[in-house]
């Protein structure tokens, strides 16, 4: 694997080209000043929107500002992410963030104003001024919130409480990221190292079971010692969420959480129910894992280690990109040719270098193009990460090309569909091509574990959130003991009786940051199930599904997420897509058991 000591060593072709946003810092400065001026202009509309023409003027200028400021902000953010130590880039980002707060403040009057309008008045404005039709759907979507908006005075009170209501999340983040120390553990070579989350994710996959056990015990130790404090924090977050849902006249906290995407609670409940009705293959996998590892007892620290030893695939970036292009051939020549252009046109920042932001992401900048950040390590995980992020990038590319600014951005609810379809096509291609039985087993194991983590584990988390919020709504106590009882019961239901429980298992709830962003994780599972459903049909040669899927990629947020998916043949209000995905999991487990 190639390692680089500085960004200067990385081939130019493997660095993204920010000149596509601004060819010089002077251009950035010019747009930065223009954005501030436009924000001042918008402020003047507060109390002065009293006609169709003035409404259109405001909305048009607001969109112009959004386009301009997005470029300013993204340029600064991308500059920082390739080297977080770059003080000049950090200064640009700090200035952009500060300007963003001012812009938000300058336009904050608009939503209360809009919702104070009579619906008939808004219709009359739109009938009078043709240009308002462009904004019509967006304006009326805001009206969905009307019954959940309070009086001006009450809104001011809730707004002032905002920081206090979000403090449990902030407290947990400080505990989790700043205060918790995991101590030292022994690496396989006998070296003592300080345990970090990154190190834990490596050690929990080690072949040496004693190393896994030591890392597991050390990782959970601080959470167990702080279980009552963290329980108090999580309890406050849940109760705050329930209280705000009641204040804003939502039937439940769950329905408040689903409202933005216009998702009925039946979809959430269907996901959980259908997964649990088809859980047998997950239990079978636990039993298979115990058998393959040759263990008398399967414990939680045995659930992440690969079941196929001695397989390490070296895949260069060039080879990975070519493999991905070949794997995605079922999506058509335009899709593949466009992806090839992304690489040649330097839309991707490939290599890990000192100071670079960790992980991977895609950012689709409207009016420019997608930018993809990687930290490519020339291995199998990096190949899958590449396919995943380029799925997001193609979604951004198609939506930005075919949608106006107002509907180009897609919801997180549908975001994981495009990325996961690519991963399913990739694993299918690799399995069909690979003849080495050990590598085939390794690939199957890799995909099964990804399936488990993205669907089963996230559904389990989603059910934990639902049950704990229901307890709060019933006025029941929430504390470490209650959380542990709920979590342990769910862990047993999802993982089966094969797993022998250590004391730590039931405290899994104490380390999950997503629980402070309620009713979010289920989207990983619905997105994954939808992608499996679509990719399977595409691989079966279903041309109608392929055509509908490519249209979906061009749709942005032109409709609500569930409706966009229905047009591809995926109806998440029914069990079918979930069942189809779980059937595929069962097939993978069955195939793995035979090799």
Give me the active site residues, please: 389
- Looking only at the bridges linking them, the beta strands covering 192-194 and 361-364 are unpaired
For residues 370 and 377, what is the distance between their CA atoms, to the nearest angstrom?
22
Task: Please report how the helices 333-344 and 380-402 are oriented relative to each other, as an axis angle in degrees rounded to 10.
Answer: 110
- Residue in 87, 73, 77, 66 with CA at minimum distance from that of residue 373: 77
First-to-final CA distance of the chain = 30
Maximal CA-CA distance, the chain: 77
The enclosing H or E element of 514 equals: none
Q: Which residue has the tokens 């952009």?
A: 96
CA distances from 586 to 278, 582, 583 (A): 9, 6, 5
For residue 410, how many other CB atoms are within 10 A of its CB? Answer: 26
For residues 559 and 218, what is the distance between their CA atoms, to the nearest angstrom?
47
CB 351, CB 376: distance < 8 Å? yes
For residues 356 and 330, what is the distance between their CA atoms, to the nearest angstrom?
34
DSSP secondary structure letters along 448-481: HHHHIIIIIHHHHHHHHHHHHHHHHHTT---SHH
The enclosing H or E element of 375 equals: strand 370-376
Beta strands in 124-214 (DSSP E): 184-186, 192-194
DSSP secondary structure letters along 327-350: HTGGG-HHHHHHHHHHHHTT-EEE
Bridge partners (DSSP) listed for residue 499? 298
Residues recorded for the chain: 595
Nearest-5° Cα angle at 241, 274 to 361: 65
For residue 212, how many other CB atoms are within 10 A of its CB? Answer: 21
For residue 44, how many other CB atoms are within 10 A of its CB? Answer: 10
- Residue in 499, 484, 504, 453 with CA at minimum distance from that of residue 218: 504
For residue 59, how many other CB atoms are within 10 A of its CB? Answer: 21
List, in sequence order, the alpha helices (H) in 161-279: 162-165, 167-174, 197-203, 209-225, 227-247, 253-259, 265-277
For residues 56 and 415, what is the distance between their CA atoms, to the nearest angstrom?
31
């Amino acid at each position: 694997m190639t390692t680089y000591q500085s960004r200067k060593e990385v081939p130019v072709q493997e660095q993204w080209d920010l000149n596509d946003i601004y060819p010089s810092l002077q251009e950035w400065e010019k747009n930065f000043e223009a954005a501030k001026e436009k924000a001042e202009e918008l402020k003047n509309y507060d109390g002065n929107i009293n006609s169709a023409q003035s409404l259109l003027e405001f909305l048009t200028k607001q969109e112009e500002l959004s386009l301009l400021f997005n470029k300013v902000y993204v340029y600064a953010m991308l500059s920082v992410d390739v080297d977080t130590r770059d003080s000049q880039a950090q200064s640009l980002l700090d200035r952009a963030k500060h300007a963003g707060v001012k812009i938000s403040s300058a336009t904050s009057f608009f939503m209360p104003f809009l919702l104070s309008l009579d619906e008939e008045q808004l219709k009359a404005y739109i009938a009078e001024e043709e240009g308002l039709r462009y904004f019509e759907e967006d304006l009326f979507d805001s009206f969905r919130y009307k019954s959940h908006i309070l009086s001006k005075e009450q809104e001011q009170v809730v707004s002032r409480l905002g920081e206090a209501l979000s403090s449990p999340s902030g407290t947990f983040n400080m505990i989790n990221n700043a205060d918790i120390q995991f101590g030292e553990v022994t690496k396989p070579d006998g070296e003592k190292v300080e345990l970090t989350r990154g190190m834990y994710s490596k050690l929990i996959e080690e072949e040496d079971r004693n190393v896994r056990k030591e890392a597991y015990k050390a990782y959970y130790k601080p959470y167990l010692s702080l279980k009552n404090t963290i329980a108090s924090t999580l309890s406050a977050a849940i109760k705050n969420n329930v209280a705000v849902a009641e204040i804003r006249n939502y039937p439940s906290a769950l329905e408040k959480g689903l409202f933005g995407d216009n998702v009925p609670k039946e979809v959430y409940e269907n996901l959980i129910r259908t997964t649990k009705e088809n859980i047998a293959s997950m239990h079978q996998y636990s039993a298979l894992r115990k058998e393959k590892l040759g263990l008398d007892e399967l414990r939680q620290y045995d659930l992440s280690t690969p079941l196929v030893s001695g397989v390490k695939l070296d895949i260069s970036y060039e080879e990975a990109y070519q493999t991905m292009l070949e794997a995605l051939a079922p999506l058509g020549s335009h899709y593949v040719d466009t992806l090839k252009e992304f690489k040649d046109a330097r839309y991707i920042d490939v290599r890990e270098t000192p100071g670079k932001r960790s992980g991977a992401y895609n950012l689709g900048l409207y009016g420019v193009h997608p930018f993809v950040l990687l930290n490519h390590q020339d291995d199998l995980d990096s190949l899958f990460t590449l396919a995943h992020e380029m799925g997001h990038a193609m979604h951004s590319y198609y939506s930005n090309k075919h949608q106006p600014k107002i509907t180009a951005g897609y919801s997180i609810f549908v975001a994981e569909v495009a990325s996961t379809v690519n991963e399913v096509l990739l694993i299918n291609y690799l399995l069909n091509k690979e003849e080495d039985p050990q590598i085939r087993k390794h690939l199957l194991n890799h995909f099964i574990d990804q399936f488990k983590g993205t669907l089963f584990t996230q559904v389990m988390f989603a059910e934990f959130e639902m049950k704990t919020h229901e307890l709060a709504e019933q006025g029941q106590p929430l504390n470490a003991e209650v959380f542990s009882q709920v979590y342990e019961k769910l862990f047993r239901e999802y993982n089966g009786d094969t797993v022998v429980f250590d004391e730590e298992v039931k405290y899994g709830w104490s380390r999950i940051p997503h629980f402070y962003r309620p009713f979010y994780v289920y989207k990983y599972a619905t997105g994954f199930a939808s992608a499996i459903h679509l990719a399977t049909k595409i691989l079966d040669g279903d041309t109608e599904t392929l055509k509908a899927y490519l249209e979906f990629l061009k749709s942005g947020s032109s409709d609500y997420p569930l409706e966009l998916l229905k047009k591809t043949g995926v109806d998440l209000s029914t069990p079918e897509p979930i069942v189809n995905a779980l059937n595929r999991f069962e097939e993978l487990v069955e195939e793995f058991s035979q090799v």
